[in-house]
Amino acid sequence: MRELLIPFATGLTIFLFGLQLIRSGLETMAGRHLQSVLLRFTKTPLRSFMTGIVATGFLQSSSAVTVLTIGFVNAGLMDFSQTVGLILGTNIGTTVTTEILALKIEDFAVPMIVSGAVIWLLPWKRFAWIGVVIGGFGCIFLGMNVMQWLAIPLKEQGWMSWLLSRGDAVQTGLTAGILMTAVIQSSSATIAMAMGFFASGLISLPFAVAVVLGSNVGTCVTGLLAVIGANRAAKQVAVAHLLLNVGGMLLFAPFVSSFADWVAALSAHPATQVAHAQTLFNIICSLIMLPFTSAYARFITRLVPSRELRT
């Protein structure tokens, strides 16, 4: 058990620490501009959509943008109707991290960490946070490498084979993606593990794609936790996010095998195939829903009314 827990805990900690470094560095460099952009450029569904893509790609976290949006809605600074396009955009923006991971530049992990630390220690404090971001990227590559060590004991002890023999690979992958992301609060970390396991031959591509679909639902847990004690408008944001991602998962679930064959034809590199699966899935789902953002917002408003109905 130790050969499983130690690399998992170590790799996950380094990976999440790297994401936090990137987020902190970019947020500090952006100052208050990010908040003003979210409030200013969300007046129409298309502008909200584009803003969600940019903001999430910048922060490297759809959960961070979703929680920030919930805070704005709860404070009355943003209407719920403005957030649907933003949510669709966050689903695409979050693929930036995965596509970067697929570039296979993990050999530069340690040099990036060292160079980031050197930049941070230089007397030119204007560039210090650039060093934090560079070091953060080094940490996520290093963490991903460490988590890949899990593949060896899992394969030798036959645990993954036993798990896959218990039921349908797609259903198991969906469940694993939802639960893992809900627990560790990072879809990027979950997908990074799926990329590593698939590259090691431990899981099949359909299983990895199913994990990607499930991780999109698991990431909604952060938003659901953020609306505890919030007003009804904030809860509408969390419910809208959840139903959009559950709907996308259910839409693609019956076609996982065919979808996996499609993304396999796009690249010969295993990690890139998984990254492309997430990107295409989120782009397709978001573009399908984009023309119906207003109607969807009205549906959520009826589902979660702004005021409690009197009995």
State the pLDDT at residue 128: 81
d(CA 174, CA 27): 32
What is the pLDDT averaged over residues 164-193?
Answer: 83
State the pLDDT at residue 309: 41
Q: Above 70 in pLDDT, residue 164?
A: no
- 């589902």: which residue's tokens? 303
Asked whether the beta carbons of 66 and 173 are under 8 A apart, the reply is no
- The residue ranking higher by pLDDT, 162 or 108, is 108
Q: State pLDDT tens for residues 266-296.
A: 988 988 999 999 999 999 999 999 999 989 9
Q: Which amino acid is at 278?
A: Q
- Quote the strand ranges of 71-179, DSSP E: none
Task: Show the tokens assigned to 53.
Answer: 């893509």
- 């952060």: which residue's tokens? 222
What is the pLDDT averaged over residues 63-70?
Answer: 78
CA–CA–CA angle 259, 19, 89 (5° rounding)? 50
Rounded to a whole number of angstroms, the distance between the first and last alpha carbons of the chain is: 55
One DSSP character per residue, 181-213 reads HHHHS-HHHHHHHHHHHHHTTSS-HHHHHHHHH
